[in-house]
A and B are shown apart, each in its own frame.
Chain A
Amino acid sequence: MKRKLKALSLAAVSGALIFTSACSNKEASKEAEKVEVGSLPKAGDFSKEVELNLSGSFTRGKAEDGNYVQKRLEEQFNVKIINTKTDTWNTDQVNLMVASGDLPDTFGFTAGGKSAQELFDSGLTRTIPKEMLEKYAPRYMKMLSENPPGPIMNLKQGTDNEYLQLVGQYDHVDGVAWGPTFRLDWLEKLGIKPPGEIKQVGPSGGREKIYFTDAAYTLEEVEEILKAFTFDDPDGNGKDDTYGLSPYNNQIHWSASLMGAFGLAPGYNFIEDGKLVQTEVSQKYKEFLKLMAKWYKMGLIDPEFTTLDNNKSWEKYKQGKIGYYIAQPSYIAMDDWAKGRAPQNIVESPDSTAKLLATAPEIGKGGQQGVGAYLPVVNLADAFYVSKHVTDEELARILQIFDYINFDNEARWTLYGEVGVHSDWEGTPEKSALKVRPEFAKEEGNSGFWAYNFRTYDKERVQWFQSEYTNKIKSEFYAREDVKEKMLIRPYKWDILNETKLKELSKRYSGQLTTIVDEFRMKAIVGEVDIDKEWDKYVENWMKNGGKETLDELEKAPKVSDLLSNK
């Protein structure tokens, strides 16, 4: 009986294993199929109905069946759209979806997922032939050609006409992404003059308390200001309870322009003493750390920063005890999405008497000034994939929908509906942001807005969601051509064409390297380690744990200057 039971159990387990393995998908293939583009329907020929399971960059699985955008698209392109019910912003759901291989026909995840090469190698996506893009998505191809090296990015290795993914235009991050701000009311009380001429960001809504200037303080001046903020009772409460600077422990943005004054940008690389180095192991970075350690020792940095992440740091800033904070242009212009974030949260309340001054990035010893470019080479980012199961005929229709809703600005209704019916201009028509009326879902839901779109914005589209105040300060300073030219710090080399094994190495070593860097940075700033004494050991540790391999591989990548000049 026992034997029989054992045999039975074994048989059951083996059966289950065989069943499960039989269910696994054996279709993974690294071969891209040859496409006869000539045999496919002409662009604009929608005579045959096609069924498509669509998902865009904003899909949270909340698009109602039969929504406004869906109906119009179905009619316009003769398609039957099946809405994706997965939340593509949820890492767990995305990873589960990828691991199961059960993907929509098109997708672009906000969270989780894998790289384009991994998805293709795993047999989950198909390539997109250049010829089909030229035929069915001409606006997209035009955008690529206007943004070098766009046309040669994301190609399948060994080909010059098969794309692994489509890419988005990121004009909303154009220009200097971060800049320093100071408590202007404190500066005034302490008798410290702002650099250059200052202008109000806007007339009301708190913006009247925020000023900006295209001039900057030097690092030495900033140090003096931080000292005054810390020791001269700038809030006038008679207590020694203010600090110059409050970093946070989970990101490095807080130092964007301070590092820029040393010619540095986090995670980027440059040539130092004739050698290719990464910022975090460079001599300049060592000097930056020494300055931060000095400021910490002087008491200018809030010691509690070690336990504050950026969200808690924003809350702390709101208490009005910190004088210096880093900000994006949209924060200063008080765009809706930036509400609650420091430093604008200090002026949000109508009763607040605080005032802010945004300046150009601090000037370092050698006149260096700037911040790391948001994107290392060109303002192209994000990924839009097409599932392996999509046929050429389906792809032809997908590309036409993609090209229309993302690159034809007449398709604004796919994001905001009809102006005057579904949405209204926040301020000056065509120059301010669009606001969806409350009876319609802002995204997905009954309206279907953003449900099928990709994250791609040219300058005109940026205006639809960015306030006119952000547009104004960007055009007057942050995204001015001469400012970009002078102040954007780009890496020396970057593997934007996926020609090296850097992605693989990053996957393997990034956890180790980030831990080593974060730990040393914090210890160095709070004085737990002597930077001069421990520096060599730290660099050696970084090199030994994947850093050297990464730098060696990086040597094989093209120079950013060559990529930008289209060489």
Chain B
Amino acid sequence: MQTVVQKAETKTKPKRKANTKWIEMKKMKTLYIMLAIPMVMLFIFHYIPMYGILIAFKNFSPGLGIWDSPWNNFDHFKRLFDDFLFLRALQNTVVISLLKLIIVFPAPIIFAILLNEVKNEKFKKVSQSISYLPHFMSWVILSAMVIEVFSPQRGIINFFITLVGGDPINFMSDKASFIPILILTDMWKEVGWGAIIYLASIASIDPQLYEAAEMDGAGRFHKMIHVTLPSIMPMVIILFILRLGSVLNAGFDQILNLYNPLVYEVADIIDTYVYRSGLEQFQFDYATAVGLFKNVVGIILILSANAIIRRKSEHGIW
């Protein structure tokens, strides 16, 4: 008899649990409805279109549609890796992206920390606003400004070079100077905007931590190093991992508007090369194959970086 009761209890337990969950969900139905809308949108606009990835493996014909277009035996991928210019573009992409990661990525962190130390609120706000401005301008406009600044005939830099008796340098057509210009202008454009998230993170640090550090005799520099930096570290790590995922995006808009054939050797990246050789000629299937390749590399990098960081610390995305 006892065993029968026990069995009955075990049978009804999960049901009861499910019921409780259902009741809880019912209670919060407004929240669930709010959640459902973006979920449906996510499914419709981000998951259903993934079906289109198939064209990376096909010779896409619009009249036949995605499914009926013929498979092409990985032809687009073979074409990618047979093409020495694609391989050069891949190398350039990785080099530019890594340089941006090393030099540009820490810039907003440093800027945010330094800005946080400014005591004059008015100056702080003005500096912050000025630093955002370039972010809102497109590379089409900014590139014209950059080209003018570095112009061998009208540029301010060459003006000073000639003033001290030097010969003007055509910076934008020089392989040695083009990449530093890319990095610097990218930093200039994005440093202010990138700092917002870190400033928000700094604002949420418990003031008691600073007070405790002060009591322990820490000065401003030590508070910066030992309180501010560790407190924003989880945010830094998350953004770093996410940035790694787009390591094969080295800045299409920027480069397309600034480069010229003399610097292709160092500046032609995957996106600019595919733009010239694929998209301009209606090769959606080829462009999809390139996009898929980039995304696969991105996801591998995100997963590996996350795994490594998880092993060494408690931070990470998952």
Contacts and interface: CB of A to CB of B under 8 A. Distances in A.
Contacts of A241: 153
B63 A21 contact: no
A303 B62 contact: no
A1 to B, nearest CB: 8
B173 A113 contact: no
A292 to B, nearest CB: 14
Contacts of B84: 545
Nearest to A94: B282
Contacts of A28: 61, 63-64, 68
B260 A306 contact: yes
A519 to B, nearest CB: 5
B277 A510 contact: yes
Contacts of B284: 95, 99
B171 to A, nearest CB: 9
B85 interface: yes
A241 B153 CA distance: 9
Nearest to A17: B51
B63 A307 contact: no
Given A98-B62, A304-B170, A511 B278 contact: yes
B174 to A, nearest CB: 10
Contacts of B85: 511-512, 515-516, 545
A243 to B, nearest CB: 10
Interface in B29-74: 43, 47-48, 51, 61-68
Interface residues of B, number: 39
Chain A at the B interface: SS class: helix
Contact of A306 (B172, B276, B283): B172
A100 interface: yes
Interface string A512-533: 1011101101110010100000
Contact of A20 (B48, B147, B262): B48
Contacts of B51: 16-17, 20-21
B264 interface: yes
Contact of A515 (B62, B260, B276): B276
A12 interface: yes
B3 interface: no
B47 A123 contact: no
B273 interface: yes
A57 to B, nearest CB: 18
B79 interface: yes
Given A95-B284, A306-B172, A307-B147, A249 B65 contact: no
B67 A21 contact: yes
A105 to B, nearest CB: 16
A122 B62 CA distance: 6
B48 A303 contact: no
A463 to B, nearest CB: 35
Nearest to A125: B63
A564 interface: no
A26 B65 contact: yes
A521 B284 CA distance: 30
A507 interface: yes
Residue in A122, A241, A516, A521 whose Cβ sees the most chain B Cβ within 10 Å:
A122
A24 B66 CA distance: 7
Contacts of A27: 63
A526 B151 CA distance: 16
A30 B261 CA distance: 41
Given A16-B51, A515-B268, A101 B62 contact: yes
Contact of A307 (B173, B264, B280): B173
A304 B276 contact: no
A355 interface: no
A523 B64 contact: no
B152 interface: yes
Given A20-B48, A510-B277, A303 B170 contact: yes
B48 A16 contact: yes
B206 interface: no
B306 to A, nearest CB: 23
Nearest to A22: B67
A221 to B, nearest CB: 27
B281 A510 contact: yes
B264 A519 contact: yes
A148 interface: no
A166 interface: no
Contact of B62 (A12, A124, A516): A124
A116 to B, nearest CB: 13
A26 B262 contact: no
Given A16-B51, A249-B260, A303-B170, A24 B67 contact: yes
Given A306-B262, A526-B262, A24 B65 contact: yes
Contacts of B62: 25, 98-101, 122, 124
Contacts of B282: 95, 98, 112-114
Contacts of A101: 62-63, 65
Interface in A101-126: 101, 112-114, 121-124
B216 interface: no
Interface of A: 1, 12-13, 16-17, 20-21, 23-28, 95, 98-101, 112-114, 121-124, 241, 249, 303-304, 306-307, 388, 507-508, 510-512, 514-516, 518-519, 521-523, 526, 528, 545
Given A28-B61, A124-B63, A306-B172, 18 more contacts: A13-B47, A16-B43, A16-B48, A17-B51, A21-B66, A24-B65, A24-B68, A28-B68, A95-B282, A101-B62, A101-B63, A114-B282, A121-B61, A123-B64, A304-B170, A512-B277, A516-B85, A522-B262
6 A-B pairs with the lowest CB-CB distances in the bound complex, closest first? A511-B277, A24-B65, A123-B63, A122-B63, A28-B63, A21-B67
